[in-house]
């Protein structure tokens, strides 16, 4: 394939996803300049290996997998540092029986910044899985292929990730006085 | 269906990942179990709050044009072989800070192997380890490399035979030798020159000569098909010298918590 056609074909497939992938990149790096660099590096890498992409298979998942790999190799900081949060502690959450306020109303009062902070406090694998499911709308099968893990692991990360998030958000709500402590 | 099983399935239900039969059984249980119904509601609130909070943010307008331009120049980017460094443009000048000589091969061997794979002439000038140690290390890692040593695509030289080949150490001599090597590489059909320089042998009083060389190299390779990694022993360099290194290389590789990390210098 001549270089010009290759670029045209690649751009037609890849550029429409840029807005959605930019949001994910921003969530991963937490920094606009790094999110731009991450996308640029990942698109360049994908372009170089475009010949290896099997036509007719899932291009969006293939491209996202490259973004995630470049993020892990190049942009993720304190990658192997153990997470401060004890996951099992956080999962043992108390009930909200002391309040009659429905949780959707409580959570809606919290700011997006609170949500971002709560997401960033999650172990990286949990956060990544939530981004793929709730922001990108990937199916469990797609996520398991991107992460190279069994579907059961995807389910367990989503389940536990949401439980921990709930715990953190309730803490925020208590601190803000939306719920009695 | 017991409550524990239902709880495990809440995410699948919310994420629309359930087949019709399981969905029906699940819904029947929820309709009659207050506890599970409460759990479902809570989980659903979290999911919708996350979706609302993670709303899509549009990429800046210039990014598409910028990436398009980078793709047009994709042929100028090479795989460094080092995951942290990833793809780098021809003309990139990198420094590696290391503590022990065992740190060197971790970066340098994958870098060289990738260059050999991509039909580049590879030149490794070493001082911390001998030429035979370097050869053994790379052959142990990839036995196939012996053929590149034999056919000359990979050359490993001791620092004396490179930096001091013409007598005294000076920047111009080194640059001349490097460009001769580069011209030979191109005329022999290689796609470019991938090189490694070493500084450990230098008396630190020669620091200014070294900086002259780094500045000249940085300028002269920037538009050529050359990649260069210069290795620096970290504990020989104080803060000021590290700042000098940052100012003379586009990227600096350093080890932190056992992993290689990258710092992009202000020139980058």
* CATH number of the domain bearing residue B20: 1.10.10
Q: Determine, yes or no, domain membership for B84.
A: yes
Contact A103 B70 (CB under 8 A): no
**pLDDT for B245-266, tens place per residue?**
999 999 999 998 888 999 988 6
Q: Determine, yes or no, domain membership for B65.
A: no
Q: What is the pLDDT of residue A97?
A: 45
Chain A residues whose beta carbon lies within 8 Å of the beta carbon of residue B15: 133, 140, 158
Q: Which residue has the higher pLDDT, A3 or A49?
A: A49
Q: What is the pLDDT of residue A94?
A: 47
| CB within 8 Å of chain B, chain A residues 141-160 | 155, 158-159
Written as six digits, the tokens of B244 are 């000098």
Q: Determine, yes or no, domain membership for B101.
A: yes
Domain span at residue B11 reads 3-53
Please indicate, yes or no, whether residues B207 and B112 belong to a single structural domain of this protein: yes
Please indicate, yes or no, whether residues B117 and B83 belong to a single structural domain of this protein: yes
Please indicate, yes or no, whether residues B24 and B120 belong to a single structural domain of this protein: no
Contact B63 A36 (CB under 8 A): yes
CA distance A168 to chain B (A): 11
pTM to 2 decimals? Answer: 0.85
Q: Which residue has the higher pLDDT, A178 or A74?
A: A74
Please indicate, yes or no, whether residues B13 and B125 belong to a single structural domain of this protein: no
A104 at B interface, C-beta within 8 A? yes
Nearest to B85 by CA among B174, B93, A138: B93
Q: Determine, yes or no, domain membership for B202.
A: yes
The whole-chain average pLDDT of chain B stands at 93
HSE of A74 in the Cβ direction (CA atoms, 13 Å)?
27
CA distance A150 to chain B (A): 14
The minimal CB distance from A116 to the residues B53, B86, B87 is found for B53
A79 at B interface, C-beta within 8 A? yes
* A157 to chain B: closest CA residue: B11
Q: Determine, yes or no, domain membership for B67.
A: no
**pLDDT for A17-45, tens place per residue?**
999 899 999 999 999 999 999 999 999 99
Under 8 Å CB pairs connecting chains A and B tally to: 138
Q: Which long-range contacts (CB under 8 A, 24 or more apart) does A144-152 make?
A: A145/A58, A145/A61, A145/A65, A146/A61, A146/A64, A146/A65, A146/A68, A147/A68
Quickly count: other Cβ atoms within 10 Å of residue A5's Cβ: 9
Look at residue B30 and tell me whether its pLDDT is greater than 70.
yes
Please indicate, yes or no, whether residues B259 and B199 belong to a single structural domain of this protein: yes
Read off φ and ψ for residue B31, nearest 5 degrees.
Answer: -65, -25
Please indicate, yes or no, whether residues B32 and B113 belong to a single structural domain of this protein: no
* ipTM reported for the complex, 2 dp: 0.83
Q: Determine, yes or no, domain membership for B70.
A: no
Please indicate, yes or no, whether residues B162 and B217 belong to a single structural domain of this protein: yes
Contact B262 A74 (CB under 8 A): yes
Contact B49 A110 (CB under 8 A): yes
CATH of residue B94: 3.40.50.300
Please indicate, yes or no, whether residues B196 and B88 belong to a single structural domain of this protein: yes
Look at residue A78 and tell me whether its pLDDT is greater than 70.
no
Please indicate, yes or no, whether residues B248 and B142 belong to a single structural domain of this protein: yes
HSE of B117 in the Cβ direction (CA atoms, 13 Å)?
11
The minimal CB distance from A45 to the residues B86, B257, B259 is found for B86
Q: What is the pLDDT of residue B129?
A: 92
Please indicate, yes or no, whether residues B86 and B47 belong to a single structural domain of this protein: no
The β-bridge relationship of strands B259-264 and B121-126 is unpaired
Please indicate, yes or no, whether residues B29 and B93 belong to a single structural domain of this protein: no
Number of domains in chain B: 2
The minimal CB distance from A74 to the residues B11, B52, B86 is found for B86
Q: What is the pLDDT of residue A81?
A: 41
Give me the domains of chain A, ranges plus CATH numbers: 3-75 (1.10.1740.10), 87-175 (1.10.10.10)
The β-bridge relationship of strands B251-256 and B259-264 is antiparallel
Please indicate, yes or no, whether residues B169 and B254 belong to a single structural domain of this protein: yes
* Residue A96's pLDDT band (cuts 50, 70, 90): very low
Q: Determine, yes or no, domain membership for B59.
A: no
Chain A residues whose beta carbon lies within 8 Å of the beta carbon of residue B59: 18-19, 21-22, 36, 39
Contact A165 B68 (CB under 8 A): no
- Please state, in angstroms and rounded to a whole number, the distance separating the CA atoms of residues A27 and A133: 13
Q: Determine, yes or no, domain membership for B123.
A: yes
* A138 to chain B: closest CA residue: B15
């Amino acid at each position: 394939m001549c270089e010009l056609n290759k670029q045209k074909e690649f751009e037609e497939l890849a550029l429409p996803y840029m807005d959605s992938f930019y949001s994910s990149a921003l969530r991963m790096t937490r920094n606009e300049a790094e999110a731009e660099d991450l996308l640029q590096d990942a698109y360049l890498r994908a372009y170089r290996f475009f010949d290896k992409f099997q036509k007719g298979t899932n291009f969006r998942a293939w491209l996202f997998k490259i973004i995630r790999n470049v993020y892990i190799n190049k942009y993720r900081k304190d990658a192997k540092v153990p997470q401060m949060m004890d996951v099992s502690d956080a999962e043992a959450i108390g009930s909200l029986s002391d309040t009659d306020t429905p949780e959707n109303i409580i959570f809606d009062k919290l700011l997006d910044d609170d949500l971002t902070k709560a997401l960033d406090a999650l172990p990286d694998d949990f956060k990544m899985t939530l981004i793929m499911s709730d922001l990108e709308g990937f199916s469990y099968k797609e996520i398991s292929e991107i992460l190279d893990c069994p579907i059961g692991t995807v389910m367990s990360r989503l389940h536990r990730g949401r439980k921990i998030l709930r715990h953190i958000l309730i803490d925020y709500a208590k601190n803000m006085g939306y719920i009695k402590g | 269906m017991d409550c524990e099983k239902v709880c495990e399935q809440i995410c699948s239900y919310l994420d629309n990942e359930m087949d019709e039969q399981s969905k029906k059984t699940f819904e029947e249980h929820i309709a009659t179990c207050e506890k599970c119904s409460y759990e479902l509601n809570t989980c659903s609130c979290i999911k919708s709050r996350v979706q609302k909070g993670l709303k899509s943010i549009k990429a800046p307008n210039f990014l598409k044009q910028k990436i398009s331009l980078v793709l047009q120049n994709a042929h100028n980017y090479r795989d460094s072989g080092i995951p942290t460094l990833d793809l780098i443009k021809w003309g990139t000048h990198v420094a590696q800070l290391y503590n022990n000589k065992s740190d060197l091969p971790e970066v340098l061997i994958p870098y060289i192997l990738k260059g050999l794979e991509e039909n580049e002439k590879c030149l490794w000038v070493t001082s911390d380890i001998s030429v035979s140690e370097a050869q053994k290390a790379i052959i142990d890692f990839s036995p196939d490399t012996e053929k590149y040593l034999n056919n000359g695509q990979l050359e490993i030289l001791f620092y004396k035979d490179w930096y001091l080949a013409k007598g005294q150490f000076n920047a111009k001599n080194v640059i001349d030798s490097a460009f001769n090597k580069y011209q030979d590489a191109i005329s022999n059909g290689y796609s470019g020159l991938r090189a490694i320089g070493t500084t450990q042998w230098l008396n630190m009083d020669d620091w200014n000569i070294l900086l002259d060389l780094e500045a000249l190299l940085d300028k002269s390779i920037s538009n050529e098909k050359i990649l260069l990694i210069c290795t620096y022993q970290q504990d020989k360099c104080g803060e000021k010298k590290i700042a000098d290194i940052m100012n003379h290389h586009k990227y600096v590789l350093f080890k932190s918590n056992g992993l290689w990390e990258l710092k992009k210098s202000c020139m980058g």
